[in-house]
Structure 1
Amino acid sequence: MARRAPDHRPVRPTWRCGTCGIAWPCSPAKLRLLAAYRLDRPALLAHLSALQAEAAAHLAELNPSTPPTDLTDRFTAWASAR
């Protein structure tokens, strides 16, 4: 039986990768997302923007005294470069 590659999905509300534990989206997640949306970059950016808003709300709730820093680099900037 073939082994399935790990999904590298975010764990909410911490927004860490459930597979490797680093800040999501990790490199494997970025590669998976780029492949999944390879023909529709605007849809990828819309999806990532929605996830960024969700992450900002979760992270602010986890630590209200220190709101999350700008999450744009983490969530969308890497996907817009072409």
Structure 2
Amino acid sequence: MSDTRHRPARPTWTCSGCGQPWPCPERRRIFLEDFQGRRMQLRGVLALFLIDATEDLADPVEQLHERFVSWAYRR
């Protein structure tokens, strides 16, 4: 990852750089830049974060999936 300021702060999964729910818009932009042309790999990485987040957060898994993974399917 190219920018270490926008990392998840566990167990709340807020962004350590801007305080927004992680992955914040800036982290998403960085992910897309870092994984340019490799969306399948990006989705795999995001799925691993999702698994970790389910251990910390009580949100319904559908909401967590939207937050952590689904956005990477959109263009």
| TM-based fold match above 0.5 | yes
What amino acid is aligned across from residue 55 of structure 1 in structure 2?
A: A
Closer/same/farther in 2, CA of residues 47 and 6 from structure 1, 3 Å limit: closer
Asked which structure has the greater CA Rg, the reply is: 1
Whether 1:20 and 2:18 are equivalent positions in the alignment is yes
Q: How many residues align?
A: 71
**Distance in 2 (alpha carbons) for counterparts of 1:27 and 1:7:** 13
What amino acid is aligned across from residue 8 of structure 1 in structure 2?
A: H
Closer/same/farther in 2, CA of residues 6 and 53 from structure 1, 3 Å limit: closer
Q: Which runs of 5+ in 1 are unaligned?
A: 60-66
CA drift of 1:58 comes to 1.4
Query: What is the SS of the residue equivalent to 2:51?
Result: helix
Q: Which runs of 5+ in 2 are unaligned?
A: none
What's the C-alpha RMSD, in Å, of the aligned pairs? 1.4
**Distance in 2 (alpha carbons) for counterparts of 1:13 and 1:34:** 24
Within a 5 Å distance, the mapping from 1:15-54 to structure 2 comes to: 15-54=13-52
Query: What is the SS of the residue equivalent to 2:69?
Result: helix
Whether 1:10 and 2:8 are equivalent positions in the alignment is yes
What amino acid is aligned across from residue 38 of structure 2 in structure 1?
A: D
Query: What is the SS of the residue equivalent to 2:17?
Result: coil
**Distance in 2 (alpha carbons) for counterparts of 1:8 and 1:57:** 21
Tell me what 2:68 maps to: 75
Percent identity, aligned pairs only, is: 35
TM-score (ref. length: structure 1) = 0.79
